[in-house]
Structure 1
């Protein structure tokens, strides 16, 4: 089943460019938006299955400079 994850990220000041470039280089990341407000970035990830989404979000959380994440999960209706 195709799963779409929308992950909201907060990053350390000064780490924005490095994190943006890293996220843009990932094949499963469909879009990265630099936003203003409560979060610094919104990423949209589209993959097959929740376990793959969990792996990607875990990898993102481990990036130096990522302070916190919040993920919203969507799936196709059967």
Structure 2
């Protein structure tokens, strides 16, 4: 299993539309709006880091209104 927290910047005025699109992705377990440098944070859980990359690059970044993403990956001690 791979866990990623994706910080997402959204173009002004597109926040709700982008939120709804990302929330509909089956890989996104949680999604929250933020105040500050980033507009949204998504918790993505998939089988491996290759799939995490696919979700971020091909699904999240391809949504109209997504300006930038930054992905933080989970680790085990």
Compute the TM-score of the two structures, normalised by the length of structure 1.
0.92
Q: Which runs of 4+ in 1 moved over 4 A?
A: none
Distance 1:74 1:9 in 2: 17
Q: Does 1:40 align with 2:39?
A: yes
| Residue 46 of structure 2 corresponds to residue 52 of structure 1 | no
- CA distance in 1 between partners of 2:44 and 2:73 (Å): 10
Q: Quick check: which one's strand share is greater?
A: 1
CA distance in 2, matches of 1:72, 1:48: 16
Which residues of structure 1 form unaligned runs of 5+?
none
RMSD of equivalent CA atoms: 1.0
Offset of residue 62 of structure 1: 1.3
TM-score of the superposition, structure 2-length normalised?
0.93
- In structure 2, the gaps of 5 or more residues are none
